[in-house]
Amino acid sequence: MSQNVNGLKAVEVLRTFLEEDGWYPRQKEAETIFYANYRGHNGRYSCEARLRVEAEIFLFYVGAPLTIPPENRLTVSEFITRVNYGMRIGNMEMNMSSGKVRYKSSLDFRGEKLTSMWLKNSIVAAVTAMDRYLPGLKAIVDDDISAADAHTRT
């Protein structure tokens, strides 16, 4: 299999963007995954920027700083469905087994040069959305409110 030159160049674009934008990325050795933290108005988040070099796909994940207990997972699942309806960039998702919640944005840049502006737009959309909807997640867990009520609070 030949190396994907465009995908490999994207790794450098991503690294440079994260460093210059003040993300202080930590790269997983010999991989195309970068880890960083973000502090929003409503919480602190673990972030993962991932490049799939051969497919020319960029993925950005923002982990919620809480794990949903089993008894709240169905309500959170409904909340996530409400949040995702009409979402323009990205989506929120939950692992029903572990209770981990994250927001994901992605870019398919096949045949195009990945740019800092594309990265910034994708990353900002993800961290902004997670920070906006975290209070709703917390309200479901802490106050045992309905998904509809949590959604109206966001």
Number of domains forming the structure of the chain: 1
Percent of the chain with pLDDT over 90: 93
pLDDT above 80 (res 4): yes
Please report, as a single letter, which amino acid is at residue 131.
D
Tokens (6 digits) for 122? 């994708």
pLDDT above 80 (res 16): yes
What are 18-34's pLDDT values in tens digits? 999 999 999 977 789 99
pLDDT band at residue 1 under the 50/70/90 scheme: very low
User: Is the separation of the CB atoms in 130 and 45 below 8 Å?
Assistant: yes
CATH number of the domain that residue 42 is part of: 3.30.1460.70
Report the DSSP beta bridge partners of residue 82.
none
Which residue range forms the structural domain that includes residue 125? 5-152
Residue written as token pair 């409904």: 78
What are 57-89's pLDDT values in tens digits? 999 999 999 999 999 999 999 999 999 999 999
Spell out the long-range contacts of 61-64 with Cβ–Cβ below 8 A and sequence spacing 24 or more: 61/102, 61/103, 61/104, 61/126, 62/38, 62/102, 62/103, 62/104, 62/126, 62/127, 62/129, 62/130, 63/100, 63/101, 63/102, 64/100, 64/101, 64/102, 64/103, 64/130, 64/134, 64/137
